[in-house]
Structure 1
């Protein structure tokens, strides 16, 4: 894989879909496409020239794309500062 196409999800903030060929969503499950909305083209990435892609080491990224036919990058989990503070104080987390 030399290039990878990156698409932004129109229905989910900070969510990106990576496919090995621009415009080819044949291996992306229809339920996933429906959930993320219309993919909006962002760019083509030269895979061989990057150490990390989608916050993954290049080889791991390539393995995932080749195995599934796509890769979905979700936004990082937002840390609750209040919950962190409560834990630091020794309080039980909220039920």
Structure 2
């Protein structure tokens, strides 16, 4: 597995909080057509150098890198509503302390 990946992140034009992570050098080519139909028009959000120890909000950078190396992409789906609301509650409680 590569030690780092120049990763481009796209957000979905159809589904809120859905993102595709790809190797910038390969772009969206490895992403299956059916997934792209569901994903909608990809909107470029940012590019970053991804390393296994990079801290990310919802997924392990090592898992994202493994998926990109194996499948050519990583799909981040929206969090379950219950988990999301719990995260919002925890963030609010932490701010009050």
Q: Same fold (TM over 0.5)?
A: yes
User: RMSD over aligned Cα, in angstroms?
Assistant: 2.2
Q: Do the aligned residues in 2 keep the contact of 1:17 with 1:71 (CA within 8 Å)?
A: yes
Residue 29 of structure 2 is matched in structure 1 by 26
| Residues 15, 74 of structure 1: 8 Å contact kept | yes
In structure 1, runs of 5+ residues without a counterpart are 81-95
Q: What is the Cα deviation at residue 26 of structure 1?
A: 1.2
- Post-superposition Cα deviations, 1:3-47, rounded to whole Å, max 9, x if no partner, equal 100001001111001110167211100010010100000000111
**Larger helix fraction of residues:** 2
Cα separation, partners in 2 of 1:29 and 1:54, compared to 1, 3 Å: farther
State which drifts further: 35-44 or 57-66: 57-66
Counterpart position of 2:72: 69
In our comparison, the structure showing a higher alpha carbon Rg is 1
Give unmatched runs, 5+ long, in structure 2.
Answer: 84-97
